[in-house]
A and B are shown apart, each in its own frame.
Chain A
Amino acid sequence: MHSFAMLLDALSTHQGRTDKIELMCAYFRSTPDPERGWALAALTDGLPLRVPFRRVLTNLMSTRIDPVLYKLSRDYVGDTAETVALLWPEPTSGQSRVAVPSLAHIVATLADADAKRIEPLLADLLDRCDATERWALLKFIGGALRVGVSARLAKTALAMLGGCDVGEIEEVWHAIGAPYIDLFAWLEKAGPRPETTGVAVFRPLMLATPIEDQDWPNLQADAFAAEWKWDGIRVQIAATPREVRIFSRTGEDISPAFPEIAHAFGGRDVTTDGELLVMRDGVVAPFNDLQQRLNRKTVSAKLMQAHPAHVRLYDLLLRDGEDLRSRPFDQRRKRLEDWHAEAPPARTDLSEMIPFDSFDQLRTLHLDARAASIEGLMLKRRASPYLAGRPKGHWFKWKRTALTLDCVLMYAQRGAGKRSSLYSDYTFGVWRTGTVGERELVPVGKAYSGFTDVELKQLDAFIRSNTMASFGPVRQVQPALVLEVAFDAVQKSSRHKSGIAMRFPRIHRIRWDKPAAEADTLEGIEALL
């Protein structure tokens, strides 16, 4: 596992996306099976190993170090696993070092171990590692690597290794498992594509591009279908008679968080595309409600009842083994309607088609659509096949014009990677009346985007010459600069001091001209709720 430790070490400090991809790709290329496959499992959160080691580690340390020194160290380092990795006694010099355990050996040792045996087994593994390896070992068996690598990024590195598109990896991903020998063989042209029949696999999604003013003259109204764009999350439901999986836009399997949806598709043989929403009595709830159900490994009956999930379907990719993706949208839509009419799964409906004769007519509808759960409109070319990725000219998203507010820059933080020398993350606020009647700023959001490189440098210069105080990496700035912030929606939030949360805030314009005192007020935002 030495090279795995080196990889994790580099991934934990290198911030750039390309760096991380290159580091992983180089590792996969130079590391043999099954070692690299177990590493891949760890990087994609697919390791069948969860050692509840917090207590085990505390026990192990209690016989190896003075508790006062342990506590002082733990307080300083801030992370138990790292503290143990750093404190673990080094093999005494002269004593020849036993071979560093391989990842396969670690999995084999711990996977089926009796709970009582974990302590001595883990101690033995730790004895065979140096400090970086011990840290990597504890991350590996602990489940959460936290080195800034998503499953998607790891798959992107695999695509680089195989010289293919990441979509091809995603299509086979759910048909294979650790240590991924067949996957690496296929990527290195030494074996066939892994078999996916009968397995609910992810098919890369077709994505829309934002419609621009210059697009309109080239579009004919009768060549397009229109649907509402709902404010939920995009999901693909892949059902085979054997299993049902719900995938996020990036191919992450989120089925465990939505068992009622998986259940509704049980026994069917389809792959559908749709919007996952929380819906009560036929009314779509705000995005915030859906948020409560995301990023969970399990879900309670109570939460399912309070926040019932629903899928609004808009496309049919496969049915009974027949791949419909090369058919035009109109035909797929007809097939979707037929299939749904035969026996609609519970908790689903079809995305409504909006009839229109001209884009002007559609524009009026668009302006009128003010329901919070509608983000805008989708335009889909009737003749287009279902294409992976974001092909130009087929699907357009026509978002409602963003709302904007004038906010005051309050705090700034340095960015990551290329932006690490620049203050590029901004917290901004609006005015409100404080408890004793004074006017004070209250933070309402953060933004990292929406400005040009030139503007970024100007902002950076402003922040450096207007710093009031520094807290670690954060600078508090004189309340003197107005940022016009665009956002998609604003919602009530008990998690924010201001009581509101903005959705997708970004810097729209820097108002160098505007006095901070004239920025917006919290009352003004509350009126948008």
Chain B
Amino acid sequence: MQRPDTWLYPTPSGLFCAPGNFYIDPPRPTDRAVITHGHSDHARAGHGRVLATAETVAIMQVRYGAECAGAFHAVAYGETLNLGGVTVRLVPAGHILGSAQIVLEWGGARVVVSGDYKRAEDPTCRPYELVACDVFVTEATFALPVFRHGPVAEQIAKLIASMARFPTRTHLIGAYGLGKSQRVIKLVRQVGYDRPVYLHGAHAALTQLYQSLGQDFGDVRLVSEAAAADLAGALVMCPPSALGDRWSRRFGDAVTGFASGWMRVRGRARQSGIELPLVISDHADWPELIDTIVATGAEDIWVTHGRDDALVHHLGCLGRRARALALVGRDDEAD
């Protein structure tokens, strides 16, 4: 078996697969990019050719324009391709709509680049599928044992209860505009909340895309088109940055919430003046990370963005070879 780090390695332009001559989630424009999912720290504009799931291609075109790459190659989950002798397959990652793990096989070794992933149920995307491999490339956004996200149903119940307790106050919920916002809307619909849900303009286009791809969100409207009276007591979804913005003042004495895995730690909520922290994450929590990594059977684990120190230490204690992979251009995602 050819050691995988001889043919798949980080470069200043991103994680590079040498025999296939392509990059995975490169932060800079490249000739050929394989994209795990549509979040902006993974999917950028300006590549020559982009290979991704059809949903990810659609998301990139909504965000950056139809011409944001020279050419798009939409691939179905499970479809097998051959890129310069490297077998490439996209497998659901359970992170957001269209998110995929990239399964690479070459020289007798199998590597899974998981992008971002979670194991918890999400009605807006295909669930994670486990692929056994030799090398597993994992994210580490919530890689501290204090992060255990818990059942999402409890958090939705908390939101519904708050709307009942403060029936005249707008509930202004900050959520990442791709994936999280749509998931929250879907989850409140699933528990029977049937009043209109209002959107900040920044969430409109992506939510429409989800709808056009078959998601039913019920009655969804734009804040900009609503009468002030309709917003009293209403549920409003907005980008987290809008919570402390001038935009938020129109709602008067709103209850401000934030749907994010970070809300597990009280200090994070208090720091940002959040009244209704909702622990809802699109990333794996600590137990999910450990369980998933162990279940892949991988002997080598490469840890990308997030907190690598705790994860590398703990995997070492479990007898795995783990190391941090310094990739440029990745930040903490707002979710």
What residues make up the interface of A, taking CB atoms closer than 8 Å to B?
Answer: 12-16, 19, 26, 65-66, 68-69, 72-73, 76-79, 82-83, 86-87, 90, 131, 135, 414, 416-418, 420-422, 472-473
Closest 3 CB pairs of A and B: A86-B146, A420-B273, A73-B146
12 CB-based A-B contacts, threshold 8 Å: A12-B270, A13-B269, A13-B275, A14-B275, A66-B313, A77-B265, A79-B267, A82-B266, A86-B265, A90-B148, A420-B244, A420-B256
Query: Is the pair A69, B145 in contact by a Cβ cutoff of 8 Å?
Result: yes
Query: Is the pair A12, B144 in contact by a Cβ cutoff of 8 Å?
Result: no
- Is B317 part of the contact surface with A, judged by Cβ < 8 Å? yes
Query: Is the pair A421, B277 in contact by a Cβ cutoff of 8 Å?
Result: no
Question: Given A13-B276, A76-B144, does the pair A131, B150 have CB atoms closer than 8 Å?
Answer: yes
Query: Is the pair A69, B244 in contact by a Cβ cutoff of 8 Å?
Result: no
Residue of A nearest to B245 (CB): A421
Query: Is the pair A69, B310 in contact by a Cβ cutoff of 8 Å?
Result: yes
Residues of A contacting B266 in the complex (Cβ-Cβ under 8 angstroms): 12-13, 79, 82, 135
CA distance A12 to B266 in the complex (A): 8
- Is B121 part of the contact surface with A, judged by Cβ < 8 Å? no
Q: Which of A65, A82, A90, A421 contacts B244 (CB 8 A)?
A: A421
Residues of A contacting B243 in the complex (Cβ-Cβ under 8 angstroms): 421
Residue of B nearest to A73 (CB): B146
CA distance A82 to B272 in the complex (A): 18
CB distance from B149 to the nearest CB of A (A): 11
What residues make up the interface of B, taking CB atoms closer than 8 Å to A?
Answer: 144-146, 148, 150, 165-166, 243-246, 248-249, 253, 256, 264-267, 269-277, 307, 309-310, 313-314, 317
CB distance from B164 to the nearest CB of A (A): 11
CB distance from A324 to the nearest CB of B (A): 45
CB distance from A291 to the nearest CB of B (A): 27
Residue of B nearest to A148 (CB): B270
Query: Is the pair B270, A77 in contact by a Cβ cutoff of 8 Å?
Result: no
CB distance from B154 to the nearest CB of A (A): 9
Query: Is the pair A87, B145 in contact by a Cβ cutoff of 8 Å?
Result: yes
From DSSP, what is the main secondary structure of chain A's interface residues? helix
Query: Is the pair A15, B146 in contact by a Cβ cutoff of 8 Å?
Result: no
Query: Is the pair A65, B249 in contact by a Cβ cutoff of 8 Å?
Result: no
Q: Which of A87, A417, A421 contacts B146 (CB 8 A)?
A: A87
CA distance A79 to B275 in the complex (A): 20
Residues of B contacting A417 in the complex (Cβ-Cβ under 8 angstroms): 253
Query: Is the pair B244, A414 in contact by a Cβ cutoff of 8 Å?
Result: yes
CA distance A254 to B253 in the complex (A): 36
Most B CB within 10 A of own CB, among A16, A77, A416: A77
Residues of B contacting A78 in the complex (Cβ-Cβ under 8 angstroms): 267
Query: Is the pair A418, B314 in contact by a Cβ cutoff of 8 Å?
Result: no
Residue of B nearest to A23 (CB): B165
Question: Given A65-B145, A68-B313, does the pair A472, B273 have CB atoms closer than 8 Å?
Answer: no
CA distance A385 to B115 in the complex (A): 75
Most A CB within 10 A of own CB, among B165, B271, B307: B165
Query: Is the pair B265, A82 in contact by a Cβ cutoff of 8 Å?
Result: yes
Residues of A contacting B276 in the complex (Cβ-Cβ under 8 angstroms): 13
Residues of A contacting B274 in the complex (Cβ-Cβ under 8 angstroms): 13
Query: Is the pair A421, B253 in contact by a Cβ cutoff of 8 Å?
Result: no
Most A CB within 10 A of own CB, among B246, B266, B267, B314: B266
Query: Is the pair B249, A421 in contact by a Cβ cutoff of 8 Å?
Result: yes
CB distance from A474 to the nearest CB of B (A): 11
CA distance A87 to B146 in the complex (A): 5
Residues of A contacting B145 in the complex (Cβ-Cβ under 8 angstroms): 65, 69, 73, 86-87
Residue of A nearest to B146 (CB): A86
Query: Is the pair B314, A472 in contact by a Cβ cutoff of 8 Å?
Result: no
Question: Given A13-B276, A13-B277, A472-B271, does the pair A72, B244 have CB atoms closer than 8 Å?
Answer: no
Residue of B nearest to A70 (CB): B145
CA distance A82 to B266 in the complex (A): 8
Q: Which of B265, B270, B313, B317 contacts A76 (CB 8 A)?
A: B265
